[in-house]
Structure 1
Amino acid sequence: MNKKINTMYFSPTGTTKKVVSGIAKKILENIASELTINNIDFTLPGVRKEPVSFTGEDVVIIGVPVYAGRVPNILLNYLNTITGNGALAIAVVVYGNRNYDDALIELKDILELNGFKVIAGGAFIGEHSFSKTLAKNRPDEKDMVIVSDFAEQIYTKITTQDNIQTVVVKGNKPYRKYYKPENENGTPVDIRKVTPKTNSNCIDCKLCVNLCPMGSIDYEDVSKLNGICIKCGACIKNCPTEAKYYDDKDYLRHKHELEVDFASRREPETFF
Structure 2
Amino acid sequence: MTRTIRTLFFSPTHSSRKIALAIADTLAAALGAKKEVQDVTLPEGRVPSKPCGPDDALVLAFPVYGGRVPQVLEALLADLEGQGAYAVVVAVYGNRHYDDALLEARDLLTRCGFKVIAAAAFIAEHSLTPKVGTGRPDDADMQRVADFARAAAEKIAGGNPAPVTVKGQRPYKERGPAAPVSPKTGEGCTECMICVASCPMGVISAHNPRLVSRGCICCFACVKSCPEGSKYFDDERIAQIRAMLESKCGARKEPELFL
Q: How does 1:1-272 map to 2 (within 5 A)?
A: 3-31=3-31, 33=32, 35-160=33-158, 162-178=159-175, 192-272=179-259
For residue 51 of structure 1, report the CA deviation from its aligned partner: 4.1
Q: RMSD between aligned alpha carbons?
A: 1.6
Post-superposition Cα deviations, 1:193-229, rounded to whole Å, max 9, x if no partner, equal 1111001110000001111000110011101113311
Q: Does the 8 Å CA contact 1:52/1:81 hold for their aligned counterparts? A: no
Instruction: Report the Cα distance in structure 1 between the residues aligned to 2:188 and 2:153, rounded to whole angstroms.
Output: 48
Post-superposition Cα deviations, 1:70-106, rounded to whole Å, max 9, x if no partner, equal 1111211111111111111001110000000000000
Instruction: Report the Cα distance in structure 2 between the residues aligned to 1:271 and 1:85, rounded to whole angstroms.
Output: 22
Three-state SS of the structure 1 residue aligned to 2:172 is: coil
Instruction: Report the Cα distance in structure 1 between the residues aligned to 2:40 and 2:79, rounded to whole angstroms.
Output: 12
Q: Does the 8 Å CA contact 2:183/2:212 hold for their aligned counterparts? A: no
Q: Does the 8 Å CA contact 1:62/1:89 hold for their aligned counterparts? A: yes
127-136 vs 147-156, greater mean Cα deviation: 127-136
Change (3 A) 1:267 1:203: same
Change (3 A) 1:28 1:163: closer
Three-state SS of the structure 1 residue aligned to 2:196 is: helix
Q: Does the 8 Å CA contact 1:23/1:151 hold for their aligned counterparts? A: yes
Post-superposition Cα deviations, 1:236-269, rounded to whole Å, max 9, x if no partner, equal 0110000001111221121121122100011110
For residue 191 of structure 1, report the CA deviation from its aligned partner: 6.8
Post-superposition Cα deviations, 1:86-137, rounded to whole Å, max 9, x if no partner, equal 1110011100000000000000000000111111101111111111221122
Identity %: 41
Three-state SS of the structure 2 residue aligned to 1:20 is: helix
For residue 58 of structure 1, report the CA deviation from its aligned partner: 1.0
Change (3 A) 1:173 1:191: closer
Q: Does the 8 Å CA contact 1:27/1:155 hold for their aligned counterparts? A: yes
Instruction: Report the Cα distance in structure 1 between the residues aligned to 2:29 and 2:197, rounded to whole angstroms.
Output: 33
Amino acid at match of 1:228: G
Amino acid at match of 2:26: K
TM-score (norm 1): 0.91
Q: How many pairs align? A: 259
Q: Does the 8 Å CA contact 1:61/1:90 hold for their aligned counterparts? A: yes
TM-score (norm 2): 0.95
Amino acid at match of 1:158: I
Q: Does the 8 Å CA contact 1:214/1:227 hold for their aligned counterparts? A: no
Q: Does the 8 Å CA contact 2:3/2:34 hold for their aligned counterparts? A: no
Three-state SS of the structure 2 residue aligned to 1:7 is: strand
Amino acid at match of 1:205: C
Post-superposition Cα deviations, 1:4-60, rounded to whole Å, max 9, x if no partner, equal 1121100011000111111111222323x4x44211100001121334421112111
